[in-house]
Amino acid sequence: IVMTQSPATLSVSLGERATLSCRAGQSVSGKVAWYQHRPGQAPRLLIYATSTRATGVPARFSGGGSGTEFTLTINSLQSEDFAVYYCQQYDDWPQNTFGQGTKLEI
Amino acid sequence: EVQLVESGGGFVQPGGSLRLSCAASGFSFFNYAINWVRQAPGRGLEWVSVISGSGDSPYYTDSVRGRFTISRDNSRNTVYLHMTSLRVEDTAVYYCAKDPTSVGATYPDFWGQGTLVTVSS
């Protein structure tokens, strides 16, 4: 299943809201996760099952969507939030697939 | 604290072999599947392989099936990825990532820092 993220790059100011989009090539039954990846660091799980925050993830991160359209919203952007974000589907087991990423920059 | 530490990456010529290791700590290792996920230069993340907690159910992405073998030693809390017939397109940072289930290939909840594999002549 192809996961298509948009935009490729998103420029947002500190304190503002960012909305990242992810489209699945077919219905994925809500089995979508989001990851944050900072350069030189390990990827970090943010959201799974469309909207469930992983342990320790701040409430300013929220996920939504259904069917084939999903979003990750980050409110009140902080400096540490600027990174690359990936969506992933895990419905087509075990052949889970990631999107190509959205780079969030200041 | 969950920790995953990869090792074994390096430079290898096309057709060569390499074995990656992933040493885990901070959780009940045998209860969880472990995935390998890679990132080629300038590209996104790509799931490569997974092995169940018991070690009896390995799965692979199509491009590596028949060339890569995943295994685990639950007595050493370590997962291995034996890579053979390496191709230039296998060049990537390889991450091991803990699955929140015993079966695997869902949404990895902890990741290592990665180890770089470079395949070039």
- Could you tell me whether strands B92-98 and A9-11 are parallel, antiparallel, or unpaired per DSSP bridges? unpaired
What confidence category does residue A93 fall into, taking pLDDT thresholds of 50, 70 and 90? confident
What's the pLDDT tens digit per position in B2-35?
999 999 999 999 999 999 999 999 999 999 999 9
Model confidence at B114: pLDDT above 90: yes
Mean pLDDT, residues B108-112 taken together: 96
According to the model, what pLDDT value does residue B41 have?
A: 94
Which chain A residue shows the shortest CA-CA distance from B57? A94
CA distance B43 to chain A (A): 7
Mean pLDDT, residues B66-74 taken together: 97
What's the pLDDT tens digit per position in A13-53?
999 999 999 999 999 999 999 999 998 899 999 999 999 99
| Residue B48, C-beta contacts closer than 8 angstroms, at least 6 positions apart | B35, B36, B37, B38, B60, B61, B64, B68, B81, B94
Q: How many CB atoms lie within 10 A of CB A81?
A: 20
| Residue B71, C-beta contacts closer than 8 angstroms, at least 6 positions apart | B51, B55, B58, B79, B80, B82
B109–A43 C-beta distance less than 8 A: no
B95–A96 C-beta distance less than 8 A: no
Sort B112 into a burial class: Cβ within 10 Å, 0-12 / 13-18 / 19+: buried
According to the model, what pLDDT value does residue B26 have?
A: 96
According to the model, what pLDDT value does residue A40 have?
A: 87
The single-letter DSSP state of residue B65 is B
Q: Does B59 touch chain A (CB under 8 A)?
A: yes
The single-letter DSSP state of residue B90 is G
According to the model, what pLDDT value does residue A64 have?
A: 97
CA contacts within 13 A on the Cβ side of A63: 26
A35–B95 C-beta distance less than 8 A: no
Model confidence at B105: pLDDT above 90: no
Q: Does B104 touch chain A (CB under 8 A)?
A: yes
What is the Cα–Cα distance from A52 to B75, expressed in whole angstroms? 33
What confidence category does residue B58 fall into, taking pLDDT thresholds of 50, 70 and 90? very high
